[in-house]
Structure 1
Amino acid sequence: MDSLYFGPYRLEVASRSLYRGEEFIPLTPKVAETLFLLLEEAGRVVTKEQMLERVWPGVVVEEGGIANNISTLRKILNGEFGEEGAIATIPRRGYRFTAEVTTGQPSTPASTRAHPAAGERNTILVADIENKTGDPLFDGTIRQALALHLAQSPELEIMSDRKVHSVLAMMHKPGVPVLGEVALEICQRTGTRAAVTGSIFALGDEYVIGLYAIRADTGDTLVSEQARARGKGGVLQALDQAALNLRSKLGESIASVQKYAAQFDEVATSSLEALKAYATGRDIWLSHSENAAIPHMQRAIELDEHFVSAHSALAVMLNNMGQTARGAEHIQRAFDLRNRATERERLRIEAMYYDVMTGDLHRSLDAYRSALRAYPRDANMANNTANLYIILGQYEKALRDIKTALTYEHSSVVYGNYTQACLGLGLVEEAHEMIEQAFARGYDAFYHHADAYLDAFLRNDPAEQRRHLDAVAGREGEEDYMIALEASTEGYFGRFARARELSRRAVESALRSTSLEMAAIWRAESALRDLEAGYPELARKQAEEALGISRTRNLDGLAGMVLARTGDIDRAERLGADMEKAAPQATHVQRHWLPCIRGCVAMARGDWKAAVDALEPALPIEMGIPQPFISPGLYPPYLRAKAYAMGKQWSDALREYEKITSRPHLIRNQYQLPLSWLGASTALAALGRKDEAAAARARFDTIFQGADRSPRDWT
């Protein structure tokens, strides 16, 4: 029993994934398990006791949890099943699923099974192209070239590589060649109408490429195409012509085929060796990690420095690893070469350029939205749009777009951003379930372990925190993030000496992987933490060390705040001026780093009003996450609270502190939370609200009970 069918819906049993036709309907694991139980027992009453035992085994749950799950399912399903709906409540007993449920795929009229016109935008799987030449150079290479060519078309929707890897993992067949029955199963699981596959073989000094599209429901051949090339040098050109002919046969309009007919060597590379390195890098990236894939992308660029897709992919990998300076080099190169890219990739590169190079997040958002209008089922662009909304603190919009991305692609990065969007909205339980789903699909990227670590922190589960720290230990280019997270946790509990030692280890780990940018960031974060702990000289020394390791916007922002608050006002102002000159359009420079530096400078000069004014530009985005796991969250309201306290404006100071204390899901394991409880206590006492002040002080004392200094020493 692979799937259960009811009305227009299909529930994949193994993954508990719900589809309406081709559309994926995201469900949390608990809701999906509730639905599966109802479908298994269709026509029979499922008692509340059965649900508790099946959905929440061994956990004490209030009856409201069941009601919430049923309510969610009814909102999703009831529009298709008339006034009565599909789920009936049986008073004092439980629930019954009333619609017909079958285990076989419903019959479909022949007219709807014929291969669709391209304008219908039905998804096509580009399966593997079997290499019968005996030459490993063609392993994966022809398939990657074909996918890049077909992606030009705005009328054909190509299943992304991320989605293919995701479905293979769900099928428990990671790394298995996507041929024959495996290709058909992927199509059937995803509601994909057809797969394009084929082979390449040598015939004397010629290479023969055969391509054919097969129907997912029957395996019958829809259309086929063949091309011949004399020698290896002609293979990509021959593939181009075969792919153009195939697009026409698949129903793409003549006008579209003629308009989007760039030759492969014009929009990608003429080097088979570079294409092979690129294909290998993408495969490793999607099945393992960015860090392991980077050398292959670098090799592709060494072989063809004009290979725009390789520059673009490498830029994304480096940025995902936090190495924005190195990533910027390749984004700039991709932008310079963008006229050699396909239309879809050109739009993506331009949006990335505005994000990373100019830093203009709003212009980047506009570019992504424009691209999504042209390619509405592009999960990558929807995911990137959601990521920008997360950075800007617009979590409702982020969740909307990440749900769109998840409709088309269950990739690692989509789950990561879904988790961040949920945490931003305080949906801690849903974030936890997204983390579980990511691991259940076999994803092992460090950011999933970082999310899981923070989730465990919010749940007060030190053993689970340790498990995820251990999972990434020894992974070059990744373990420094986890060590830095542990340092933040130690700082949260007031164990600043231990936090400093862990930060030192994070710096050393980053340096071993030649990630100078991250080494500098970890040193600067340690400096800011030691400043709050009452060690200004040590903080200033570390800030200077950080500036000597690397220079980026994030680093200059962190160091500038430390230098301003430790008396080096001139240096802090120079850093700010240099940053403003270098990045006048950068959203986070203008609305985060410069306001924070200028606020710190004003407070260092004793001018609390000027500090409040300086921090005002940060208001629209201060609930955002400047860079996950790197930049301190909610820092503008933290500084604003300090400024108001300096001016004895206690009501205003309390309001700013409460922005932090009321959002543990955003501040997570950062020291600003306990110190904000301390600040709130002082403000409440000054306002004569003694009981509330005592309660706030008790929250601080509880967190700092194992601190280096007694909680009583903190005022």
Structure 2
Amino acid sequence: METAPKTLYEFGPFRIDPDQQLLLRDGRAVAVTPKVLEVLLVLVRRSREVVSKDELMRTVWPTTVVEEANLSQSVFMLRKVLGDTRGEQRYIVTLPGRGYRFAAPVRVIAREVAEDVAVAPTPATRRRRLGSPAIWLVAGGILALAAGAMYFLSGRSASMLRAEDPVLVADFVNATGDPVFDDTLRQGLAVQLQQSPLLSLISQDRIQQTLQQMGRPAGASLTPELAREICERTDSALVLDGSIAKLGSQYVLGLRARDCRSGDVLDEEQAQAGRREDVLQALDEMAARFRHRVGESLPTIARHNVPLAEATTTSLDALKAYSTASRVHAAAGSAAALPLFRRAVEIDPQFAMAHAMLGRMYGDLGDFVLAAQSTERAWRLRGRASDAEKFFIDASYQLQVTGNLQAAQAVCESWASTYPRAAGPHAFLAGIVLPVQGNYRAAVEQARMALGLDPDFVIGYQILAYAQQYQGDPGAAGRTLDSAAARKLATPDFALQRYDLAFLRSDSDGMQRQVAAALDDGEVQGGIAYHRSLALAYVGKLQDARAASVQAGALSLQSSQQEQAALFAAGAALREGLYGHAAEARRQAETALTLSDDRHVEFGAAFALALAGDSAQAGKLADDLVSRFPQDTSVNFSYLPALRARLALNEHAPERAIDILQMAAPYDLGTPRSSMHGSFGALYTVYLRGEAQLASHRAVEAAAEFRKVLAHPGVVVTDPIGALARLQLARVYAMQGNPVRARAAYRDFFMLWKNADPDIPVLVQARREYASLH
């Protein structure tokens, strides 16, 4: 029988099989995303030719408008996979201004498809070949499977389950009568499959989103029928549904793989456990066999195959609490899930990932001290976690405990390289690491990569929107939030960002809409009140701002969010200090420190005390930050330089302040953690450098610094330095002997503060200065 030729491409130790969407190295599958493989195919097919960037983007993304950064990221990933380095580009050569050229010799091989029939039999042929086909029998409500040696998914080879094909894990049918197996086995199987660098599982967030679209209740049981429908709606490839039954003294586990679209049962298998405690081991065996049958090499499985008892917990009860918490978190949020994760660690104090998720819940709720404690506990227990979970724990440890963002970046890059289907490392990079560095363009790229891997990753939209806002594109940020809303995705923080985006557009009606909406949402009321206080203070309405701050603090304490209340008090202390109310600044700083000794709170309070003239106490707090957080990037490159420089200015030593601020220069335009959590601290080193230059009578240099503050409204947002930079520019022009520009700048400040409280010290001083201009 005639068959069409099948074309393969070989170069060096690599082979590309376009039909199967596979890249092999020495016969073993290499983890690579579909778009990256498409870029490689274009270059290989035009080997030795120059291919322009425009040609590549039109070919690989024919129906989508993408940025050149998407192509650059794909080429970067290709070079990592192929082993190219900057010094030795054996395969892909960059030709500046022209494009790329594939430099290695390529061998084109034609092979008959018929040769593959023995490897990939039809479903009917496959069933005849299996020694003892598994059958599902229902008797008295108990599901049992016939014994036999099974080749799981022997007919669905890697050619039929590509890297981009997601897999949905359904709930296990529990016929044992023991509720401990409810949710637990699905969670265990998911943990095991997530150890694979090649597989992509439908996330719990995406499952919940699909359930909502179907009009089903949140947390609905994923029966085989419901799971298949979700599988179809999410354009997945396979659905795995399982069962557990009691057969005499034995536990019998079954696993069935079905094609999402046709519903065909592709294969079935079983495993037995003699005791309740052995069930997780039986699940390990089934997961490993599944991974092998869909194309993962045995050496890769061996490298990433920590047994469930070691990767999670030996306690089925603890695993049940954890799995229930994960489902509740996806359906109802962090506050609802927190007690369940806490229950998991109470049952098994050695459950590393439960501690890690507990830390995440505390962090989501603004309790950074407890978040750091739980995360550090998880890190000390990380030997009891899977490889994929170790990356999450290591990254969380660097972000929440040490604050060492260079180390966190290295972990995330290694994580993304090892698990190219994981959205987590891209989210961490885009949401925290890159914004602190001020690398907003890269943050946008990483956030888009996270959403490309999981389009229902709700936090991913928030991260992308913030990166776009920081980059100076509030319109794009708003459209990103609208995209999330169109998918019926939302978090309470969306309202806070929409308020700030409306502020940046001078859209008072938009701001008021968010305030009104918050009246019915207890989760966001305190945050909206705080953001409203910042906006009021920005235009000099200090009395109204104080009232809003009191409301924000009270609402936070009512909902047991003490850390959040402390951050709000620190922010209030800063504005009082910047505006010249020393006594109120000291009072608010003391309130903040009474509530928390978190590093971000301590920085805000210390800076406010320095502004209020209490240099001794501010210095002690700076020393405490050095002692407690020696590795923290924001502490070392933002908080301490700003504090030390402010203290130097208090001592009338502007040259020393300028010297101190030199170390902060690489992070000047970044968004330190205090700004992410408390909306204060961004560009403080820039503003202080301007003050120091002004005090040193370097008007030109001072003006450049204050203009930097005004040029980044998406970073500064409602921080008081955004308003005061206008006043500082007026002082620069006055120093230069340019009364015309000075008057214009003063009037700009007065226009911003046209409805300000008249007795604010900084305003009173500004009016005196304006009156003295000649």
Give the TM interval when normalised to the shorter protein: 0.7 to 0.9
- Determine which of 439, 442, 449 is the counterpart of 2:495: 449
Q: Deviations over 1:484-519 (max 9, x none)?
A: 111111111111122122222222222223333222
Tell me how far 1:284 sits from its aligned partner.
2.4
- Determine which of 430, 450, 465 is the counterpart of 1:419: 465
Aligned to 1:642: 691
**Is the 1:118–1:252 contact (alpha carbons within 8 Å) kept by the matching residues of 2?**
no
User: In structure 1, how many angstroms separate the alpha carbons of the residues matched to 2:742 and 2:414?
Assistant: 51
RMSD, matched Cα: 3.0
Task: State whether structure 2 residue 564 is matched by structure 1 residue 518.
Answer: yes
Task: State whether structure 2 residue 320 is matched by structure 1 residue 276.
Answer: yes
For residue 205 of structure 2, what is the amino acid of its counterpart? R
**Is the 1:124–1:156 contact (alpha carbons within 8 Å) kept by the matching residues of 2?**
yes
Question: Would the alpha carbon gap of residues 172 and 701 (structure 1) be closer, same or farther in structure 2, given more than 3 Å must change?
Answer: farther
Tell me how far 1:710 sits from its aligned partner.
7.3
> SS of the counterpart of 1:222?
strand
Aligned to 1:305: 349
* Mapping of residues 50-449 of structure 1, within 5 Å: 77=58, 114-116=156-158, 121-133=163-175, 136-169=179-212, 173=216, 175=218, 176-180=220-224, 182-188=226-232, 190-203=234-247, 206-230=250-274, 232-387=276-431, 388-410=433-455, 411-449=457-495
Number of paired residues?
623
User: In structure 1, how many angstroms separate the alpha carbons of the residues matched to 2:540 and 2:255?
Assistant: 64
User: In structure 1, how many angstroms separate the alpha carbons of the residues matched to 2:59 and 2:198?
Assistant: 33
User: In structure 2, how many angstroms separate the alpha carbons of the residues matched to 1:174 and 1:532?
Assistant: 50
Question: Would the alpha carbon gap of residues 476 and 338 (structure 1) be closer, same or farther in structure 2, given more than 3 Å must change?
Answer: farther
> SS of the counterpart of 1:300?
helix
For residue 425 of structure 1, what is the amino acid of its counterpart? Q
The TM-score with structure 2 as length reference comes to 0.75
User: In structure 1, how many angstroms separate the alpha carbons of the residues matched to 2:286 and 2:61?
Assistant: 43
**Is the 1:595–1:618 contact (alpha carbons within 8 Å) kept by the matching residues of 2?**
yes
Aligned to 1:464: 510
Q: Deviations over 1:636-656 (max 9, x none)?
A: 112222222223322222111
Q: Deviations over 1:120-143 (max 9, x none)?
A: 534442322243435554332221
Aligned to 1:683: 732
Tell me how far 1:708 sits from its aligned partner.
1.2
Tell me how far 1:671 sits from its aligned partner.
2.0
Q: Deviations over 1:271-307 (max 9, x none)?
A: 2322222222222222332222211111111111111
User: In structure 1, how many angstroms separate the alpha carbons of the residues matched to 2:343 and 2:707?
Assistant: 51
Q: Deviations over 1:22-58 (max 9, x none)?
A: 769xxxxxxxxxxxxxxxxxxxxxxxxxxxxxxxxxx
Q: Deviations over 1:336-374 (max 9, x none)?
A: 111110011112211221222221101110111011111
**Is the 1:395–1:425 contact (alpha carbons within 8 Å) kept by the matching residues of 2?**
yes
User: In structure 2, how many angstroms separate the alpha carbons of the residues matched to 1:583 and 1:592?
Assistant: 13
Between 1:586-595 and 1:184-193, the stretch displaced more is 184-193
Task: State whether structure 2 residue 621 is matched by structure 1 residue 570.
Answer: no
Between 1:414-423 and 1:444-453, the stretch displaced more is 444-453
For residue 412 of structure 1, what is the amino acid of its counterpart? V
- Determine which of 755, 767, 772 is the counterpart of 1:706: 755
User: In structure 2, how many angstroms separate the alpha carbons of the residues matched to 1:547 and 1:276?
Assistant: 39
User: In structure 2, how many angstroms separate the alpha carbons of the residues matched to 1:212 and 1:659?
Assistant: 61
For residue 607 of structure 1, what is the amino acid of its counterpart? A
Question: Would the alpha carbon gap of residues 669 and 170 (structure 1) be closer, same or farther in structure 2, given more than 3 Å must change?
Answer: farther
User: In structure 2, how many angstroms separate the alpha carbons of the residues matched to 1:710 and 1:74?
Assistant: 63
**Is the 1:282–1:293 contact (alpha carbons within 8 Å) kept by the matching residues of 2?**
yes
Q: Deviations over 1:646-677 (max 9, x none)?
A: 23322222111111112222222222212111
For residue 377 of structure 2, what is the amino acid of its counterpart? R
- Determine which of 588, 596, 609 is the counterpart of 1:550: 596
Tell me how far 1:119 sits from its aligned partner.
9.7
Tell me how far 1:595 sits from its aligned partner.
0.5
**Is the 1:223–1:249 contact (alpha carbons within 8 Å) kept by the matching residues of 2?**
no
For residue 463 of structure 1, what is the amino acid of its counterpart? D
Question: Would the alpha carbon gap of residues 389 and 200 (structure 1) be closer, same or farther in structure 2, given more than 3 Å must change?
Answer: same
**Is the 2:35–2:60 contact (alpha carbons within 8 Å) kept by the matching residues of 1?**
no
**Is the 1:212–1:221 contact (alpha carbons within 8 Å) kept by the matching residues of 2?**
yes
- Determine which of 485, 498, 512 is the counterpart of 2:544: 498
User: In structure 2, how many angstroms separate the alpha carbons of the residues matched to 1:293 and 1:505?
Assistant: 27
User: In structure 2, how many angstroms separate the alpha carbons of the residues matched to 1:225 and 1:689?
Assistant: 85
Question: Would the alpha carbon gap of residues 406 and 255 (structure 1) be closer, same or farther in structure 2, given more than 3 Å must change?
Answer: same
Question: Would the alpha carbon gap of residues 621 and 474 (structure 1) be closer, same or farther in structure 2, given more than 3 Å must change?
Answer: farther
Q: Percent identity, aligned pairs only? A: 30
User: In structure 2, how many angstroms separate the alpha carbons of the residues matched to 1:81 and 1:452?
Assistant: 33
For residue 529 of structure 1, what is the amino acid of its counterpart? R
Between 1:402-411 and 1:316-325, the stretch displaced more is 316-325
**Is the 2:689–2:705 contact (alpha carbons within 8 Å) kept by the matching residues of 1?**
yes
Tell me how far 1:186 sits from its aligned partner.
4.3
Between 1:682-691 and 1:667-676, the stretch displaced more is 682-691
Tell me which structure has the larger Cα radius of gyration.
Answer: 2
Tell me how far 1:191 sits from its aligned partner.
4.6
User: In structure 2, how many angstroms separate the alpha carbons of the residues matched to 1:161 and 1:612?
Assistant: 50
> SS of the counterpart of 2:489?
coil
User: In structure 2, how many angstroms separate the alpha carbons of the residues matched to 1:202 and 1:416?
Assistant: 46
**Is the 1:390–1:420 contact (alpha carbons within 8 Å) kept by the matching residues of 2?**
no
Question: Would the alpha carbon gap of residues 139 and 606 (structure 1) be closer, same or farther in structure 2, given more than 3 Å must change?
Answer: same
**Is the 1:196–1:213 contact (alpha carbons within 8 Å) kept by the matching residues of 2?**
yes
Question: Would the alpha carbon gap of residues 467 and 210 (structure 1) be closer, same or farther in structure 2, given more than 3 Å must change?
Answer: farther
> SS of the counterpart of 1:514?
coil
Q: Deviations over 1:407-455 (max 9, x none)?
A: 1112111101100111111122111111112222233322111111111
Between 1:137-146 and 1:396-405, the stretch displaced more is 137-146
- Determine which of 698, 704, 707 is the counterpart of 1:655: 704
The TM-score with structure 1 as length reference comes to 0.81
User: In structure 2, how many angstroms separate the alpha carbons of the residues matched to 1:214 and 1:173?
Assistant: 22
For residue 391 of structure 2, what is the amino acid of its counterpart? L
User: In structure 1, how many angstroms separate the alpha carbons of the residues matched to 2:557 and 2:693?
Assistant: 40
**Is the 1:207–1:228 contact (alpha carbons within 8 Å) kept by the matching residues of 2?**
yes
Question: Would the alpha carbon gap of residues 81 and 518 (structure 1) be closer, same or farther in structure 2, given more than 3 Å must change?
Answer: closer
Unpaired stretches in structure 1, ≥5 consecutive residues: 1-7, 9-20, 25-72, 83-108
For residue 661 of structure 1, what is the amino acid of its counterpart? L
User: In structure 2, how many angstroms separate the alpha carbons of the residues matched to 1:269 and 1:652?
Assistant: 60
Question: Would the alpha carbon gap of residues 287 and 460 (structure 1) be closer, same or farther in structure 2, given more than 3 Å must change?
Answer: farther
User: In structure 2, how many angstroms separate the alpha carbons of the residues matched to 1:286 and 1:23?
Assistant: 29
> SS of the counterpart of 2:244?
strand
**Is the 1:23–1:408 contact (alpha carbons within 8 Å) kept by the matching residues of 2?**
no
- Determine which of 626, 629, 632 is the counterpart of 1:580: 626
Unpaired stretches in structure 2, ≥5 consecutive residues: 1-18, 20-32, 37-53, 64-115, 122-154, 767-774
